[in-house]
Structure 1
């Protein structure tokens, strides 16, 4: 009996301790008062008519050239490599020219022969012309000599043209820079066969950039030269505004897409490199019946939180805690998304946080 009573007393005391612990107000698991507040930056949604066209583009130099030759031959020396800076007229590529030199020698021999024949024909013409005036030669004889004289002159002229052609072909065996710039691509090596029209190097002029973007045929009629375009670099996030300077009128070689070229302001060229990918947004006038309303709510895409198939955004409660608010998104623009529901135009949301956000975590606003 004593043993049974002792066991019962232990069980009762243990239960009492557990009940007391569960009811202790200082150890509530739902409480987050002991967590250090995270510093956050908040802002209001942007508003306005954001109807426009979005596209992907690529940054490139406004002046570039593919270096190729018009003759076929083996490459003997490539004097530069990718990344080298070159000046206008600098020798870039040398191609074997033995056959062209041989052709040039043949033309020089032909010129010497034609020149001798022309001089003899000129003397005969002068002699027969004098004899004709003295009535010692007939008109037919003078005509024949005149014809030989003209034919000799034509052969000499043709021989000289062949020499000019050989010299021009010889110039294509020494390829030089058409302007000062940077070698961006090296497409061949010494010993390769160079073919007419096949690029060997690419040179770009530094300092002036443009963006080339592809626009579908359903949108191309809404654009015109001089129209502004907002752009952001995908890798670094740099944003700037340019102007459409060229609209291609044909999509025959671009798979149904129309290429446009957008200038990049000179003061924005720092930190830009040819080949960078760009997000392009071109604002256009809102059409009647457009699904985008005046004053639509827009938030940066970087502030959107993805949870499975749902999208949300963190807001700040009256008790200075982070609250994940589920939102429904509409169109996406240049780095922004339209919020159709779930967030009011006068409600702040968290743009940046100096720590990991979750529901109920204390936050401290600092918009410095």
Structure 2
């Protein structure tokens, strides 16, 4: 019995010794984790332009509706099409004016007749004035002559007023552009009969456009009239502009505010930018200091931006790194604005993808 127990203990001892020797061999066979050599940088402080991002629609600054004031006339000419660049006073369409021309001729004849009657009445009145002091004419004759003169004068004035009216009606048969601009709509149809107030054309005045940019209430506090802006339209073209006006009220549904930006569109025919387009852009609101790092120092992991900073030194003269989450801002010239680290932090310049929180690194210069 005792011999059996001693034998078992001896076997266990031999087995333990063998296992210990195996663990030592395994440990000796597994090399230590390599230390990564890294270079360090500190965030760079830059004067960076501050921009407010915005979205909005491109619309016509003013769109004039061009119509007719007369009715019952047939359209005999249409001289403008959608997209045409027109000048102020250019005739866009013309109605048949034969009836108006006849009325004008009749009114001119009435003016001539009234003027002839006035001349006769004035001559009679002048004779009466000369003889009135001699006592050869009665008071009734004098009054009658003076009345006829005044009546003739009134008839001339009335005839001339009718002449002005007839001339205005004749002018209305020619539909002219009220300003320089671009034809954006046309409903004029050759042969159609006019109706008072009927719209014939739409005109984007001076081809001038504006961008109605929506910004949040908090962002609107930084925006002022006269600030520069840039916007990108659907074609990818970037246009410049200037803040002309800021809406005095905020939309209660979206809690956004409209900023009206005059667009500098070099193409007089509206070109790349057209009313109704959606555009994204930025409004420059000033300069501010910003901490920046190159993109190589930033690691995107699990949907967050991170950097590695030197945390502590090791007894062997190396350093341990710490993973720090940062927030990214604007980008320019290969640099990215960051926040969440100190301006004096020592940041691993590159190779962050090979590191983990707490890793040991060798700093090289």
1:259-270 → structure 2 map (5 Å cutoff): 260-264=260-264, 266=266
Please tell me whether the aligned partners of residues 78 and 94 of structure 2 are also in contact (alpha carbons under 8 angstroms): yes
State how far apart, in whole Å, the 1-side matches of 2:192 and 2:265 are.
Answer: 40
Provide closer, same or farther for how the CA distance between residues 98 and 161 of structure 1 changes in structure 2, counting only shifts above 3 A.
same
State how far apart, in whole Å, the 1-side matches of 2:268 and 2:157 are.
Answer: 56
SS class of match (1:279): strand
State how far apart, in whole Å, the 2-side matches of 1:345 and 1:195 are.
Answer: 78
- 1:277 alignment partner in structure 2: 278
- Describe the superposition over 1:55-104 as per-residue Cα deviations: whole angstroms up to 9, x where unpaired: 303164x6865432222233222123224455555432112334433432
SS class of match (1:272): coil
Q: Which runs of 5+ in 1 are unaligned?
A: 1-45, 287-292, 300-310, 316-326, 350-368
State how far apart, in whole Å, the 1-side matches of 2:81 and 2:246 are.
Answer: 34
* Normalised TM-score (structure 1): 0.54
* Normalised TM-score (structure 2): 0.55
- 1:118 alignment partner in structure 2: 118
Provide the aligned length of Structure 1 versus Structure 2. Answer: 270
- 1:81 alignment partner in structure 2: 81
- 2:201 alignment partner in structure 1: 201
Provide closer, same or farther for how the CA distance between residues 227 and 266 of structure 1 changes in structure 2, counting only shifts above 3 A.
same
Please tell me whether the aligned partners of residues 85 and 268 of structure 2 are also in contact (alpha carbons under 8 angstroms): no
Moved more, 62-71 or 147-156: 62-71
Provide closer, same or farther for how the CA distance between residues 250 and 140 of structure 1 changes in structure 2, counting only shifts above 3 A.
farther
- 2:311 alignment partner in structure 1: none
- 2:242 alignment partner in structure 1: 243
SS class of match (2:103): helix
State how far apart, in whole Å, the 2-side matches of 1:271 and 1:261 are.
Answer: 18
- 1:7 alignment partner in structure 2: none
- 1:161 alignment partner in structure 2: 161
State how far apart, in whole Å, the 2-side matches of 1:204 and 1:98 are.
Answer: 32
Provide closer, same or farther for how the CA distance between residues 263 and 81 of structure 1 changes in structure 2, counting only shifts above 3 A.
closer
Q: Which has the larger radius of gyration?
A: 2
- 2:97 alignment partner in structure 1: 97
State how far apart, in whole Å, the 1-side matches of 2:183 and 2:242 are.
Answer: 27
Q: Which runs of 5+ in 2 are unaligned?
A: 1-45, 296-301, 307-324, 341-346, 353-365
State how far apart, in whole Å, the 1-side matches of 2:140 and 2:216 are.
Answer: 73
